[in-house]
């Protein structure tokens, strides 16, 4: 069975914190009467098209940007490897997870904050500075191919939120802030927000479990763009084949292109090329060497290995075959994977999120789930993700002229990057028929 793994750093995330009892992707949906918008206009974040470029002039900032890439590929491996090894299609968004966890991390202290910083390899101050520059740049882009949004929800009759925490979340993460009853109306509102911010790609992220929660931080990221170099009718082949690791073949639609002086990269493990979107974003298509198992390939593609591979890009004559595909994925054991990475002191009874509130509550993360979807066809690419981090209250009770052929008719890896090269999505494609089998809720 063929796998698809996209580390969607453009995805959408929801972090939910449970109790004992952005740049706007699209217009905010109408919410129920029980949900109160508590946003302070004086905390408004501003767009700055040159923010990321100015940020990266500093040597330390460049090292932080590399650390974000390293963390992205590490999350990709740790969270997706079990499913990749079992033949499942996998799609994740590291950027969305990093962003949503950043909202929560700003409310962490003591051993919990220390564990988050050490495990990620990025200090909270550095994370905030990086996200502020990255998101401000995205907000200012006129084409809006990549959009992100954040929101913070809390049980207003239970938690006395810290104004300092709310101000930081608003100023850095541009989060909408809502007081809500965490009942049926809140379930509807959160799912309506997720559906709106992913342009309808992901309709549902929470259910009845929300009624036991008292705080939720949500991040949405969506990428939607057309190819810079359009495919013509003669470039689309409806009856092509995709080869599985077990030797079986699946019928697919293949997109073909031939370009002279085109980006091409290769090392001892991978070959690949880059295709560009109209906005200037790009997708790196990475093909493991013949005979290499996908799990082994993903394990070898660390952040450092990825940078070296892409830095070695040369202009060659490239013939590419790229299949159309679409699929959904849900990762439900992210908290366990973070703990395996050394990020601990997050669960109820051991976590310290005291800066979030003025109350003596002992909030802790009980589970983290992310849902994603990608659609790639002859017109372009669209991808989104939603993540929920649920927290409970621990006080009560997760040759130079030679043609280079890149024939993607067998499992491959892809990385969708923004204009600064930040990996927004990372994925593997192994089962070309998965889109027909799975349904997005």
DSSP calls for 188-207: HHHHHHHHHHTTTS------
Instruction: State yes or no: pLDDT of 391 exceeds 60.
Output: yes
Whole-angstrom distance, CA of residue 167 vs CA of residue 46: 14
Name which residue leads in pLDDT, 23 or 67.
Answer: 67
For residue 247, the model assigns a pLDDT of 79
pLDDT of res. 288: 95
What pLDDT is recorded for position 42? 56
The count of other CB atoms within 10 Å of the CB of residue 36 is 12
Q: Please, what is the average pLDDT of the chain?
A: 86
Portion of the chain with pLDDT greater than 70, in percent: 88
Q: What is the pLDDT of residue 41?
A: 54
Position 394 confidence tier, pLDDT thresholds 50, 70, 90: low
Question: By the 8 A CB rule, do 218 and 150 touch?
Answer: yes
* Alpha-helical segments (H) within 293-364: 294-300, 303-311, 334-340
* Whole-number Å distance between alpha carbons of 396 and 245: 49
Beta strand 176-180 with 146-155 is parallel
Q: Which of 250, 46, 20, 15 is nearest to 153 (CA)?
A: 15
Report the share of the chain in percent with pLDDT over 90: 59
Spacing of C-alpha 38 from chain mean position: 27
Whole-number Å distance between alpha carbons of 149 and 190: 13
Burial class (CB in 10 A: 0-12, 13-18, 19+), 382: buried
In tens, the pLDDT along 340-369 reads 999 999 998 899 999 999 987 888 888 888
Is residue 60's pLDDT more than 70? yes
Query: Has this prediction a pTM greater than 0.95?
Result: no
* Helix (H) or strand (E) run with residue 249 in it: strand 249-266
Kindly tell me if the per-residue pLDDT of 322 is higher than 80. Answer: yes
Architecture of domain 233-326+401-437: Roll (2.30)
Is the pLDDT reported for residue 20 higher than 50? no
Q: What is the pLDDT of residues 252-306, one digit of tens each?
A: 999 999 999 999 999 999 999 999 999 999 999 999 999 999 999 999 999 999 9
- Can you give the pLDDT at residue 1? 35
Model pLDDT, residue 315: 96
Mean pLDDT in residue range 418-429: 89
Judge residue 436's burial from the number of C-beta atoms within 10 Å of its C-beta, 0-12 exposed, 13-18 middle, 19 or more buried: exposed
Confidence band, pLDDT 50/70/90 cuts, at residue 40: low
**Does residue 216 contact residue 190 with C-beta atoms inside 8 Å?**
yes
Per CATH, the homologous superfamily of domain 10-79+91-224+330-393 is Antithrombin, subunit I, domain 2 (3.30.497.10)
pLDDT band at 387 (very low <50, low <70, confident <90, very high): confident
233-326+401-437 and 10-79+91-224+330-393 share a CATH fold = no
Domain ranges of the chain: 10-79+91-224+330-393, 233-326+401-437
**pLDDT 10s digits, 189-224:** 999 999 999 999 999 998 998 888 888 888 999 999
């Amino acid at each position: 069975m063929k796998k698809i793994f996209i580390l969607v750093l453009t995805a959408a995330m929801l972090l939910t914190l449970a109790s004992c009892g952005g740049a706007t992707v699209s217009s905010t949906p109408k919410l129920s009467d029980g949900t109160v918008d508590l946003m302070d206009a004086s905390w408004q974040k501003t767009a700055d098209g040159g923010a990321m470029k100015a940020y990266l002039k500093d040597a330390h900032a460049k090292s932080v940007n590399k650390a974000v890439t390293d963390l992205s590929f590490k999350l990709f491996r740790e969270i997706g490897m079990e499913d990749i090894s079992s033949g499942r299609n996998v799609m994740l968004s590291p950027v969305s997870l990093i962003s949503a966890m950043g909202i929560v991390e700003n409310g962490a202290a003591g051993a919990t904050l220390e564990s988050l910083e050490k495990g990620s390899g990025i200090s909270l101050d550095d994370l905030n500075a990086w996200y502020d520059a990255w998101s401000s740049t995205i907000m200012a882009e006129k084409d809006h191919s990549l959009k992100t949004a954040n929101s913070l929800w809390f049980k207003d009759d239970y938690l006395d939120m810290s104004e300092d925490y709310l101000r930081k979340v608003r100023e850095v993460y541009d989060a909408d802030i809502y007081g809500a009853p965490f009942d049926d109306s809140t379930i509807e509102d959160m799912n309506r927000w997720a559906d709106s911010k992913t342009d309808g790609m992901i309709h549902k992220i929470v259910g009845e479990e929300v009624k036991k929660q008292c705080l939720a931080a949500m991040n949405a990221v969506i990428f939607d763009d057309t190819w810079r170099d359009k495919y013509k009718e003669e470039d689309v082949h409806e009856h092509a084949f995709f080869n599985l690791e077990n030797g079986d073949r699946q019928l697919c639609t293949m997109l073909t292109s031939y370009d002279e002086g085109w980006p091409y990269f290769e090392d001892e493990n991978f070959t690949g090329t880059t295709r560009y979107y109209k906005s200037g974003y790009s997708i790196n298509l990475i093909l493991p060497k013949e005979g290499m198992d996908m799990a082994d390939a993903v394990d070898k593609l660390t952040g450092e290995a990825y940078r070296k591979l892409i830095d070695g890009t040369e202009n060659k004559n490239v013939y590419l075959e790229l299949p159309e595909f679409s699929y959904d994925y849900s990762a439900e054991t992210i908290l366990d994977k973070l703990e395996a990475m050394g990020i601990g002191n997050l669960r109820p009874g051991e976590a310290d999120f005291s800066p979030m509130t003025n109350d003596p509550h002992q909030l802790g993360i009980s589970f983290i789930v992310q849902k994603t979807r990608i659609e790639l066809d002859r017109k372009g690419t669209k991808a989104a993700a939603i993540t929920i981090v649920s927290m409970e209250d621990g006080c009560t009770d997760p040759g130079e002229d030679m043609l280079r052929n890149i024939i993607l008719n067998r499992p491959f890896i892809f990385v969708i990057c923004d204009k600064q090269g930040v990996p927004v999505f990372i994925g593997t494609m192994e089962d070309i028929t998965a889109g027909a089998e799975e349904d997005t809720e």
